[in-house]
Amino acid sequence: MDKFRIRGGRKLRGRVQIGGAKNSALPCIAAALLTGESVTLHNVPYVRDIITQGRLLEDLGAQVLRPELRTHKISAANIEIFEAPYDLVKTMRASVLVLGPLLARFGKAKVSLPGGCAIGTRPIDLHLEALKHLGAQVSLEAGYVVARAPHRGRLQGGEVNFDKVTVTGTENVLMAATLAEGKTVINNAAREPEIADLAELLNRMGARVRGAGSPTITIDGVEHLGAAEHTIIPDRIETGTFLCAAAITDGELELKDCRPEHSAIVIAKLREAGVEIEEVNQSTLHVRCCAEGLTARDVVTEPHPRFPTDMQAQYMALMTQAAGVSRITETIFENRFMHASEMQRMGADISISGNTATVRGVTRLMGARVQASDLRASACLVLAGLVAEGETVVERVYHIDRGYEKIEAKLRAVGAEIERVRESVTAQLPPAAEVGVS
C-alpha cells in the first residue's frame, strides 16, 4: 500500500489547477445508462472511484472509451447485465447510482446493499422508499436489492418526500424519473451543486427537469433520452482542501478553474477565521494567510448550502493552528472523527464528545506515522503533515486516490515536500491503457 512521506514547514506558493468534481462525475457516468446513444463527459477527474464506476458500466455491457485522459465517451447500447455486485458496491458506495437508471430504462435492477463504511452505517432505505413511490417493486434477497418496474417495465411518475436530505438518493430518483410515465415531484431534495450538474446533463440528453439545486425538483418523464456532451463542474471539495492547504502553511495560492460560488460557505468560514480569500474572477480564487494569524471558529456540518461534511476533517486540521477553541459538530455521519485520534498522535489537542470535536489551538504538530481511514480524513492528515515539525508518514493513501487526482504532485508543484512511497504495484492507479484509452 502506498504512503506519503511529508516534511512539514514549507509555505505553499503558486498556482493550482482544480479538477472536475468526482461527486458529479459519478452520477453523470451512471446517467449514461439511461440511453443507448453516446454520452460524452469532459473534465472527469482521473481518480480511482471514477475508474471503478467506469468498470462497473463495462461489466454491465457498456462501452467506456477515453479519447483523452479526462474525457469519457460512454455507449450503453448493449446492456446485458443489470446487477451491481457486492464486491464493487462494498468498495464504492456510489455504485448504487446505477439502480435508478437501470430500473428506469430496463425495468429491472439488482444492486448489493452497501453495508457499513468507515464513516457510519450509510443505508439506502431512502433511495428504495422513493423508488417505490415511482411504482417500483423492491425486495431484499441475500443482501441484494432486487427492483422491478411492474407496469410494462416502466416507472410511473409520483411524489417523493425525502424525510432526510440525501445526495445520492436524490440523484437516483432524479435519474429514474426522467424515463417514468408522467410527472414526478421530489420534495426535500438535496441542493448540492452536483445535483444541478447532473440535471443539466439529463436535460441535454432530452430530459425535462426543473428546479434542480432547489429543495423541489420537478421532472416530466419522457419516452427516450439521447446523445449528449457535457463538462463536469469543478470539484468544490478539492477547492476547499487547497484553500486550507494555503492557510495552514501560511502560504499564498491561486486556485484556477474553480467555482467560488459553490464554495461560498467554506470561503465565508475561512475568512471569519482570518484567511484572506479574494475572488479574482468567476473561476479563480486567490488565498493568503494570515496577517493576524488564524482564529478559532466553530462549524456545524449540514447539507448544502451549509458547511459540507466533506470539508470537516480538513477544517479540523486547520483549527489545530488557530488561536482559541473551536467546536466542530458533525451532523451528517455518526462516525466521522477518525482523523482526530491520528492528529492527537501528532500532538493536536482535540477532545470528542458525541458528535462534537473540541479543538484547542495553537498546537505545534509533530510529524508521526498516521493512518488514513477514509478519503477526507486522508486529506486532513496530509494538511497536518504539511505544517508538522519533522517527517509525517501517511499510510493507506489509497483512500486519497479515490477522490484527489495526484494531490502529491499538485502540492509539490507549489512547494510542499511530499513524496509517494510505492509499496505494491496492485495498489497503484492502472496505467491509462488499462482504463480504455483509445
The catalytic residues are: 117
Asked if 239 interacts with ligand UD1 (CB under 6 A), we say no
Q: Closest CB to ligand UD1 among 14 and 116?
A: 116
Asked if 26 interacts with ligand UD1 (CB under 6 A), we say yes
Cell of 90: 462494498
Asked if 310 interacts with ligand UD1 (CB under 6 A), we say yes
Quick check: helix, strand or coil at residue 177?
A: helix
Residue type, 408: E
Asked if 333 interacts with ligand UD1 (CB under 6 A), we say yes
Q: How far apart are CA 388 and CA 174, in angstroms?
A: 44
Residue 19: alpha-carbon gap to chain centroid: 12
Q: Report the nearest approach of ligand UD1 to the CB of residue 334 (Å).
A: 7
Q: Which CA distances in Å does 200 have to 24, 38, 174, 300?
A: 11, 16, 12, 30
Q: Which CA distances in Å does 36 have to 31, 101, 130?
A: 11, 12, 25
Q: Closest CB to ligand UD1 among 114 and 260?
A: 114
Q: How far apart are CA 65 and CA 244, in angstroms?
A: 35
**139, 146 contact by CB (below 8 A):** yes
Asked if 133 interacts with ligand UD1 (CB under 6 A), we say no
Q: Closest CB to ligand UD1 among 26 and 219?
A: 26
Stretch that binds ligand UD1, among 5-13, 272-280, 308-316, 391-399 (CB under 6 A): 308-316
Q: Closest CB to ligand UD1 among 167 and 275?
A: 167
Q: Report the nearest approach of ligand UD1 to the CB of residue 414 (Å).
A: 25
Cell of 237: 471539495
Q: Report the nearest approach of ligand UD1 to the CB of residue 419 (Å).
A: 27
Asked if 124 interacts with ligand UD1 (CB under 6 A), we say yes
Q: How far apart are CA 188 and CA 161, in angstroms?
A: 6
Cell of 226: 439521447
Asked if 168 interacts with ligand UD1 (CB under 6 A), we say yes
**59, 29 contact by CB (below 8 A):** no
Cell of 420: 509517494
Q: Closest CB to ligand UD1 among 3 and 402?
A: 402
| Cα dihedral 234→59→226→204 (10° resolution) | -10
- In the list 7, 13, 93, 345, the residue contacting ligand UD1 (rule: CB under 6 A) is 93
Q: Closest CB to ligand UD1 among 8 and 308?
A: 308
- In the list 253, 285, 332, 372, the residue contacting ligand UD1 (rule: CB under 6 A) is 332
- In the list 88, 94, 131, 198, the residue contacting ligand UD1 (rule: CB under 6 A) is 94
Asked if 50 interacts with ligand UD1 (CB under 6 A), we say no
Q: How many residues bind ligand UD1 (CB under 6 A)?
A: 21
Maximum Cα–Cα distance across the chain: 66
Q: Taking the CB of residue 333, how many other CB atoms lie within 10 A of it?
A: 19
Asked if 189 interacts with ligand UD1 (CB under 6 A), we say no
DSSP-assigned beta bridge partners for residue 253: 14, 287
Stretch that binds ligand UD1, among 68-76, 121-129, 205-213, 420-428 (CB under 6 A): 121-129
Asked if 125 interacts with ligand UD1 (CB under 6 A), we say yes
Asked if 232 interacts with ligand UD1 (CB under 6 A), we say no
- In the list 126, 175, 179, 265, the residue contacting ligand UD1 (rule: CB under 6 A) is 126
Q: What are φ and ψ of residue 342, in 5° steps?
A: -70, -40
Q: Which residues bind ligand UD1 (CB under 6 A)?
A: 23, 26, 93-94, 120, 122-127, 164, 166-169, 308-310, 332-333
